[in-house]
Structure 1
Amino acid sequence: MSKKNNEFRNEDAVLDIKDQPSFGHWLVLSVQHLFTMFGATVLVPLLVGINPSIALFASGVGTLVYILCTKAQIPAYLGSSFAFIATMQALMKNYGYPAVGQGAIAAGAVYLLVSLIVSRFGSNWVDKVLPPVVVGPIIIVIGLSLASTAANDAMMNGNVYDLKYFGVAIFTLAITIIFNMFLKGFPSMIPVLLGIVSGYLMALVVGIVDLSGVQAAKWFSLPAFNVMGVNYDFKWYPAAIVGMAPIALVTMTEHMGHVMVLNKLTKRNFFKEPGLHRTLLGDGLSSVIAGFVGGPPTTSYGENIGVLAMTKVHSVWVLGGAAIFAIIFSFVGKVAAVIQSVPSPVIGGISFLLFGMIAANGLRILIDNKIDFELKRNLVIASVILVVGIGGTYLQLGNFQLTSIALATLFGIILNLVLPEKALSER
């Protein structure tokens, strides 16, 4: 690690946050992130009934806004949020898209409000509320809570176990590990992209790639924007505001969890610089913009954080490039259709590695901070967080749902604040 131009530089990174790759490398590294986030970003609108091209456009614009708000200091990609799916489906069924759009704007507004509060009163409370004994297990949960998604993508053809799917997933995983371990130079920076391409080719060979969407897609097509005042008249939807705004408080815990992971990866403290208020501002504005143009609310993506962890390429230029490509491809029907045709076992095989990388970084936090699990306090906090989070426990109150990650985080915070440093038997 060194100082360069009076700025901290993480020498463990292949490309640090401010490092600008050559044009050719920039293109390939950005496309790698595009492939990584594409499946999840378009899956949300497909489940809700929104045009996927809108979500792709909104994610690209939202990411650029986030980078601007955080002074180009945080390498993060924002895509469609899964936390709002159930509520959005209900709103689409009962009211149509205008209600979903209003709900997305309301969720973003909550972020903006909290950003103002943090800006006024500071974020010093973060270190007290979220010490390493809480942060480490939460990051492990963020990675491992996605494990079942990776497994289902790898094994299941619809609702049926498919050995061919599993074979493609294992091949994708194995070839990606080989690329990651044995390639040198620039190819060593793009093992995920090479793994996805190799897995896609194998999927073509075994006949599980559906190219009908590629054939039907047009080369150029405008995203089907749903803009307030243009495509529909303004109307209040209280159910949308009440249903989606509180969920923003839940996704904020995941937002902070992702910032913690990035802190660890980049050896920085983004809660202090550029500040939690700026990360919340960027995330909130992204969701507000998405709601106005017709997309679902957005959030930072663990998949892309996994790519950062594996490749050690932390350049914000690369994430910005992925955002630009997302915007461009939202207008190019053929390209978007090709990426959308990547079958689930390829994504599942890659996810085995990416999600595990996130969890492993949580384990590193516990090791690096020498958390003593001989102390009952530490053992209790970590145990509850891990089981509640990984087990998928959630709290359902009407249309409001506290997800497993949020609930695990809440339990961890409460236990950390109320439990004494030592149990009576240890004094």
Structure 2
Amino acid sequence: MEEKRSNGAIYDLYDRPPFPILVGLSFQHLFSMFGATVLVPLLVGLNPGVAIFSSGIGTLLHMLITHGKIPAYMGSSFAFIIPMTSLMKSFGYPAVAQGVFSVGVVYLIVALIVSKIGSDWINKIFPPVVVGPIVMMIGLSLANSAATNATINSLTNKYDLKIFFVAFLTLIATICYNMYFKKFLGMIPVLLGIITGYIFATIFGLVDFQAVAAAHWFALPNFNSLFASKKFYPSAVIEMAPLALVTISEHLGHVMVLNKITGRNFFKNPGLNKTLAGDGTASIAASLVGGPAVTSYGENIGVMQMSKVYSVWVIGGAAVLAVVLSFVGKLSALIQTVPGAVIGGVGFMLYGVIAAAGLQIIVDNKIDYSKKRNLMIAAPILVIGIGNFNLQIPLAHSTLEFTGVALATIIGIILNLVLPKIAASEK
């Protein structure tokens, strides 16, 4: 039985919307994650259709392992782009697959440790003074990505006024749909914003339909097995497995955001061990079919915050749609024609909504920034994360990189544990 309903939820965690509404809400999540999920394999040299399939299967496996108790969507992880690209060029996909598999194994090992020692330590290392700035930073760290998509032509790598106008009109449309529409239309402002932006993009000549015309209605994704080669690539494991510890910190941040917007404690129920195991199993599944490593997506969290729809049925519906669309060549090709200008315009809203959730944590817990300790914790978290002050360690064939988000999270945890409650000058 559900203990309580989330404040303001239109469809809460276990509510199942009527089928037509469910499909519309699920498509909204599908469009929101699509751009980033497809971009990773395009950069690495993997098959986008397999990545879409992996995201859907990974999400369904995550839901199975967490007993359908947490609305988290799994998409391609950006944290592994550098080592995956290097491994792909040096050895081909079998090496990438072994690296992705090792990432999943690390998650499972950490999940096993958490299941033994519990998750009470979460409250000690993640009090509100740390959680609020981290959640804000997660949203704001994506701001540059949205701004780039909304101004730069990816073909020429130059500023394009047409892209600016499409992104701006997409943003305005999304805001208006969110503020003025009611009932079902009021629940899908992001999807409506994307459709409106797509229409404007077509008018401005930013959409190329050639790939849609050339695509077949049925197209089997180019699956690539982990076992395509019997050779073992130790460098793949060395270069990718440690990065799992970085993405685990991002995983904690996403769960904290979900805790905030849904009013639950997912660290307790279904348990951090299960959410970690779900992430790990999703990456292992991706390695078996030729996909990249996956992780939970902030874009979909932003959609939930805006729409006030937290239903796991909607997330599951998006996962099923992703699997189905990975086999429908023309539909997959059509979705891939959504330009970055549209994704950027919607991103301005989605990423800001995540940041606002962090601000709400600070306000709700009355964090006093006249106290030096609180200020010394929040300041570096925000600037390091938003500025992407990252740590890069050269390895044999690539670079081990701790992103600004991960580094800021780690530094925030350490500062909270070592700084005195009261600064010497305040005594």
TM-score range, shorter chain: over 0.9
Partner of 1:260: 256
* Match among 136, 139, 147 for residue 151 of structure 1: 147
Per-residue displacement from partner, 1:323-360 (whole Å, max 9, x unpaired)? 00000000001000110000110100000000000001
Tell me which stretches of 4 or more aligned residues in structure 1 moved more than 6 Å. none
Partner of 1:22: 18
Residues in 1 aligned to 2:89 and 2:14: alpha-carbon distance in whole angstroms = 45
Q: CA deviation at 1:9?
A: 1.8
Residues in 2 aligned to 1:341 and 1:419: alpha-carbon distance in whole angstroms = 50
Quick one: structure 1 residues 89 and 376, their matched pair in 2 at CA, closer, same or farther if it must change by over 3 Å? same
Residues in 1 aligned to 2:269 and 2:72: alpha-carbon distance in whole angstroms = 15
Partner of 1:62: 58
Q: CA deviation at 1:371?
A: 0.5
**1:213-362 to 2 correspondence within 5 Å?**
213-229=211-227, 232-362=228-358
DSSP-derived class of the 1:134 partner: helix
Quick one: structure 1 residues 82 and 25, their matched pair in 2 at CA, closer, same or farther if it must change by over 3 Å? same
**1:86-97 to 2 correspondence within 5 Å?**
86-97=82-93
Quick one: structure 1 residues 339 and 6, their matched pair in 2 at CA, closer, same or farther if it must change by over 3 Å? closer
Per-residue displacement from partner, 1:371-400 (whole Å, max 9, x unpaired)? 011110000000010111111100111121
**1:28-427 to 2 correspondence within 5 Å?**
28-158=24-154, 159-229=157-227, 232-398=228-394, 399-427=399-427
Letter of the structure 2 residue corresponding to residue 222 of structure 1: L
Residues in 1 aligned to 2:99 and 2:260: alpha-carbon distance in whole angstroms = 33
Residues in 2 aligned to 1:290 and 1:273: alpha-carbon distance in whole angstroms = 26
Residues in 1 aligned to 2:7 and 2:423: alpha-carbon distance in whole angstroms = 41
Considering only aligned residues, what root-mean-square deviation do their CA atoms show, in Å? 0.8
Q: What 5-or-longer segments of structure 1 have no aligned partner?
A: none
Quick one: structure 1 residues 25 and 36, their matched pair in 2 at CA, closer, same or farther if it must change by over 3 Å? same
Q: Identity, % of aligned pairs?
A: 59
Letter of the structure 2 residue corresponding to residue 80 of structure 1: S
| Aligned residues between the structures | 421
Q: What 5-or-longer segments of structure 2 have no aligned partner?
A: none
Q: CA deviation at 1:292?
A: 1.0
Residues in 2 aligned to 1:233 and 1:255: alpha-carbon distance in whole angstroms = 31
Q: CA deviation at 1:416?
A: 0.3
For normalisation by structure 1, the TM-score amounts to: 0.98
Residues in 2 aligned to 1:151 and 1:366: alpha-carbon distance in whole angstroms = 26
Per-residue displacement from partner, 1:66-87 (whole Å, max 9, x unpaired)? 1111111101100000000000
DSSP-derived class of the 1:84 partner: helix
DSSP-derived class of the 2:392 partner: strand
Q: CA deviation at 1:11?
A: 4.1
Quick one: structure 1 residues 253 and 368, their matched pair in 2 at CA, closer, same or farther if it must change by over 3 Å? same
The answer on whether the counterparts of 1:228 and 1:234 sit within 8 Å (CA) in structure 2 is no
The answer on whether the counterparts of 1:209 and 1:342 sit within 8 Å (CA) in structure 2 is yes
Per-residue displacement from partner, 1:222-263 (whole Å, max 9, x unpaired)? 11100134xx23221001000000000000000000000000
Letter of the structure 2 residue corresponding to residue 226 of structure 1: N
